[in-house]
Amino acid sequence: MKTTPSTNARHGFDNLLILVQKNLKLLVRARASSLVVILGPLLVIFLAGLAFDNTNLYAVRIGTYSPAYNDLSNSFIDKLVERQFQITRYPSEESCVQGIRRGETHTCVLFPSDFAIGKNVSNEVRFSVDYSQINLVWTILNVMTTSVTARSAELSRNLTTVLLHALDFTRKSVADRKQNLIGLTTQNDEIGQRVANIQAELLEIELSFDPGEVGLGNLTSAKGVVKHWVDNSLNLGKTALAQAQHFIDAADELVRAAGGGSTDLTTALQESMDDIEELTARMESTDTLVQQEYAQLSTLIDQIAGRLTQTKSQIDLAASSQTFTLDELNVITRLLDQALLNVLTIQKSMNEIEKVIGAIQITDPEAIVQPIKTTITPVVAERSYLNYLFPTLIALIVLFTAILLTPTIILFERNSPAYFRNFMTPTSDFVFLASVFFTTAALLLVQLAIILAIAAIFFTQILHAFAYAALVLALFISACIFLGMILGYLFNSEETAMLAAIALGSMFLFLSDIIIPLESMPAVIMNIAQFNPLVLASDLLRRTILFDATFSEISVSLLMLVLFTLASLLLFTIVYVGVKRNAFSKYLARFAPKKEQA
């Protein structure tokens, strides 16, 4: 029969259908692992749909420990119970942490022993979390922090209310006490004035005294002069008396020497002698008297001098006291000035306090505790976790199904004895390769159709925005199938290919933002990971399914996905050409008797 391009094409298409049909039959009839590959993703999405069709983490189990549970710690725990978390109280911190390690709980809340409000304590509530549960830890931390923050805010509101009450009371008290301060200022001023008066009075008191001015020295000098003169007079009288005595004696002796002279003379001499003796006696008496009087005068003058000295001392003391008093009054004046200054400062401060308190406009405790309220509004209408997970789940299912199923189909064929007979037929290699591609694609489409049907139960938006998503899926499916085909032709055993597929899938998974955010990766890895097809596809699917992105918004990422798909195709072509050269010889060697080639 003559063959034309059109008949060739028809045969090619017929054969393609036959081969796809055959591949599907073989897969369905093959061992359970193939069914797992086919049905596994459907089961995953179904379970994910059931599991994540909510916005809470009800299954989170929380362990708590407090050395002494009190109302405050219990209120925190009640808050967690309100969110329907399962709470387990542990007897010790260690057992609580061990609970996480044993998998009994996801996190452990450790309250301090002196956990109370109003005391001067840190009130540090600690969370022990298992960072190895990398997919859960942030969610748990978020939930726990939210719960604790809520209770903490509640307490803050109470404390703020008390604080505001105190502030209000202060404001009123300041207003009331301002008059007192004004009175205090006036009184201070009055006191100052009086002190000034006292100072003036004191300054007017003259307490200067010079004893010299009294003439006591002159008196003493005069006393001495008088005494001198008296003494001189007395001495002169005595001398005169002595002279007189002497003359009389001399006269007497002369009389006597003259013989007895006249009795009268003698008598007169005697008498004169008597007189002189009497005068001398009297002189003596006068001297004694003078001495006594002088002594008395002297004593009196000394007494006067002493009194003057005493008076001076007293006046000096008074002057000193005056000086001291004036000094003190100066100090008092200064203190009064300082006090006035302080009062004025206090007054100013109180004015400022009154002004500041008066300036506080927010008096609502809620507004002070949470001056900025945050409300998280999802950018899409849906709010269940499945919505957010759905694009990523789709991308993951496509990736793993394609890279696991495609090598399975290829190696089913390559390791089948029928490969030999296929090689004998005129059906081209391209048709066989296309059959592998379309078998996997058909299975994936069936899976996706079922997934979408299941997803439609949980939410509906996806069905409206599937046009671009379909384009993204077509590209990503193609890229993943090409990767799977590379594995199918690179490896000769199904087991090795499976291991390689899992390794490749894991690599894509770990270099994506599914487990940890790209932003937390080292810069170099992040730059590489941005070109990860899984990242590209899940991002594109998220944007197309969840955000109804327009073509222009996704064009760059889409172009990158197209390039990756073409690169996969090119790489597959290189691998296939390289492997095919020896593939059939290897096949023959496997099935032909070894001895012939030994």
In the complex, the residues that contact another protein under the rule CB under 8 A are: 11, 14-15, 18-19, 22, 25-26, 29-30, 416-427, 584-585, 588, 591-598
Amino acid found at 351: N
Nearer to another protein, 361 or 597 (CB): 597
Adjacent-strand bridge partners of 87: 62
Question: Closest distance between another protein and the C-beta of residue 480, in Å?
Answer: 25
Question: Closest distance between another protein and the C-beta of residue 425, in Å?
Answer: 4
560 by Cβ neighbours in 10 Å (0-12 / 13-18 / 19+) ranks as middle
Nearer to another protein, 23 or 66 (CB): 23
27: helix, strand or coil: helix
d(CA 108, CA 141) in angstroms, rounded, equals 11
d(CA 244, CA 234) in angstroms, rounded, equals 14
Nearer to another protein, 291 or 422 (CB): 422
Provide DSSP, 356-412.
Answer: HHHH-----HHHHH-SS------SSS--SHHHHHHHHHHHHHHHHHHHHHHHHHHHH
Nearer to another protein, 213 or 596 (CB): 596
Taking the chain, what is the end-to-end CA distance rounded to the nearest angstrom? 43
Nearer to another protein, 308 or 583 (CB): 583
Nearer to another protein, 72 or 433 (CB): 433
Nearer to another protein, 430 or 591 (CB): 591
40 by Cβ neighbours in 10 Å (0-12 / 13-18 / 19+) ranks as middle
Question: Closest distance between another protein and the C-beta of residue 575, in Å?
Answer: 22
d(CA 433, CA 485) in angstroms, rounded, equals 9
Question: Closest distance between another protein and the C-beta of residue 501, in Å?
Answer: 22
Nearest Cα to 385, choosing from 53, 42, 44? 53
Nearer to another protein, 371 or 426 (CB): 426
Amino acid found at 136: L
Question: Closest distance between another protein and the C-beta of residue 469, in Å?
Answer: 35
Question: Closest distance between another protein and the C-beta of residue 21, in Å?
Answer: 9
Q: Tell whether the torsion through CA atoms of 551, 555, 557 and 558 is positive or negative.
A: positive
Question: Closest distance between another protein and the C-beta of residue 400, in Å?
Answer: 24
Q: Tell me the H-state helices in 205-262.
A: 211-214, 216-257
Nearer to another protein, 18 or 356 (CB): 18
Q: Are 526 and 469 in contact (CB under 8 A)?
A: no
Provide DSSP, 426-447.
Answer: S--HHHHHHHHHHHHHHHHHHH
Question: Closest distance between another protein and the C-beta of residue 79, in Å?
Answer: 59
What is residue 596's DSSP assignment?
G
22 by Cβ neighbours in 10 Å (0-12 / 13-18 / 19+) ranks as middle
Nearer to another protein, 10 or 334 (CB): 10
Question: Closest distance between another protein and the C-beta of residue 422, in Å?
Answer: 7
d(CA 544, CA 557) in angstroms, rounded, equals 12
Question: Closest distance between another protein and the C-beta of residue 527, in Å?
Answer: 46
Nearer to another protein, 371 or 593 (CB): 593
88: helix, strand or coil: strand
Nearest Cα to 515, choosing from 524, 506, 527? 506
Nearer to another protein, 52 or 587 (CB): 587
d(CA 244, CA 251) in angstroms, rounded, equals 10
Nearer to another protein, 14 or 548 (CB): 14
Q: Are strands 126-129 and 107-110 parallel, antiparallel or unpaired?
A: antiparallel
d(CA 232, CA 122) in angstroms, rounded, equals 107
Question: Closest distance between another protein and the C-beta of residue 36, in Å?
Answer: 17
Tokens linked to 452? 């979408």
Show contacts of 416-419: CB within 8 Å, 24+ apart: 417/591, 419/587
For the chain, the farthest-separated pair of C-alpha atoms sits apart, in whole angstroms, at: 229
Nearer to another protein, 29 or 373 (CB): 29
